């Protein structure tokens, strides 16, 4: 069974953390992963830095740029993760854009992910139709879940199509904007959360974008199985460093 499915069998609400590989420092990837697991995080999304991250807000863009300057590459990340499953048992999801994956070679990328223990991919610029018709069989072959994003503007027809072809979870974007931390959700966002919950989708949903503190985490998980924190965690890392990660997780839960 895929580790993502195992994690969603837990009864409690889930917490997933996103960070950019190679940030703040090139060799911080493994220490961050181990500290997150030790702090009780349920799942981690590792950002594969890219020079043109269209879906990302300024904090993640800056962390990605810094990681690239540090020397992070797809090959370097794979080298860092080569033996990660000797010490890490929580699900790992790689989040990146399609161009670097194509440059690496799509099947070779999937094969490498499988060999080191990656459980899923989030590729914001890979359309669900293209994935379904061209790549789903390949991803299935390597037991890789491809996670799709929905927004408040996604039509019900599209959401049900995504639900039909999805495995793992659906990444529910809290707003139509790019990523970034915020202190609270408005009525429109809560109406959106409620609307999706009432659709009774077969694939569990996790809410991301704008989760930054205990208040937004609790608001998001009222309507979903979990929440994802990215920008707020990256900002914390820059200020407090890897050693303080347990303090950040405690502040959320």
Mean pLDDT estimate for the chain: 93
Residue 191 scores a pLDDT above 80: yes
Tell me: the pLDDT tens digits for 219-236?
999 999 999 999 999 999
Confidence (pLDDT) at 222: 94
Tell me: the pLDDT tens digits for 129-163?
999 999 999 999 999 999 999 999 999 999 999 99
Domain 14-252 CATH assignment equals 3.20.20.70: yes
Better pLDDT: 118 or 57: 118
At 29, the pLDDT band (50, 70, 90 cuts) reads: very high
Average pLDDT over residues 38-45: 98
Residue 67 scores a pLDDT above 90: no
Confidence (pLDDT) at 180: 46
Confidence (pLDDT) at 53: 53
At 52, the pLDDT band (50, 70, 90 cuts) reads: low
Residues 22, 15: Cα–Cα separation, whole Å: 22
Tell me: the pLDDT tens digits for 109-137?
999 999 999 999 999 999 999 999 999 99
Average pLDDT over residues 66-70: 88
Given 56, 62, 157, 191, the catalytic residue:
56
Confidence (pLDDT) at 187: 86
Confidence (pLDDT) at 181: 47
HEC string of the chain?
Answer: CCHHHHHHCCCCCEEEEEEECCCCCHHHHHHHHHHHHHCCCCEEEEECCCCCCCCCCHHHHHHHHHHHHHCCCHHHHHHHCCCHHHCCCCCEEEECCHHHHHHHCHHHHHHHHHHHCCCEEECCCCCHHHHHHHHHHHHHHCCCEEECEECCCCCHHHHHHHHHHCCCCEEEECCCCCCCECCCCCHHHHHHHHHHHHCCCCCCEEEECECCCHHHHHHHHCCCCEEEECHHHHHHHHHHCHHHHHHHHHHHC
pTM value is 0.92
The verdict on whether 157 is a catalytic residue reads: no
- Domain positions in the chain: 14-252
Residue 178 scores a pLDDT above 50: no
Given 28, 42, 45, 119, the catalytic residue:
45
Residues 252, 10: Cα–Cα separation, whole Å: 18
The verdict on whether 27 is a catalytic residue reads: no
Average pLDDT over residues 157-184: 81
Average pLDDT over residues 19-43: 97
């Amino acid at each position: 069974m895929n580790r993502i499915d195992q994690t969603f069998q837990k009864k409690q609400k889930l917490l997933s953390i996103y960070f950019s590989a190679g940030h703040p420092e090139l060799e911080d990837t493994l220490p961050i992963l181990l500290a997150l697991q030790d702090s009780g995080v349920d799942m981690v999304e590792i950002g594969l830095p890219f020079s043109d991250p269209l879906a990302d807000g300024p904090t993640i863009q800056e962390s990605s740029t810094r990681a690239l300057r540090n020397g992070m590459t797809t090959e370097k990340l794979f080298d860092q993760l080569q033996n990660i499953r000797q010490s890490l048992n929580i699900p790992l999801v790689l989040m990146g854009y399609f161009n670097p994956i194509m440059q690496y070679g799509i099947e070779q990328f999937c094969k490498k992910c499988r060999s080191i223990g990656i459980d899923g991919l989030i590729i914001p610029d890979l359309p669900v139709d293209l994935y379904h018709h061209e790549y789903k069989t390949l991803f299935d072959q390597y037991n890789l879940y491809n996670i799709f994003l929905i927004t408040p503007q996604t039509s019900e027809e599209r959401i049900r199509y995504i639900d039909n072809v999805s495995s793992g979870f659906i990444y529910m974007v809290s707003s139509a904007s790019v990523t970034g931390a915020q202190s609270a959700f408005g009525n429109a966002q809560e109406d959106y959360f409620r609307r999706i919950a009432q659709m009774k989708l077969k694939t569990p949903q996790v809410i991301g974008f704008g989760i930054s503190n205990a208040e937004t985490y609790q608001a998001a998980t009222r309507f979903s199985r979990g929440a994802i924190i990215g920008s707020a965690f990256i900002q914390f890392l820059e200020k407090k460093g890897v050693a303080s990660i347990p303090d950040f997780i405690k502040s959320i839960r």
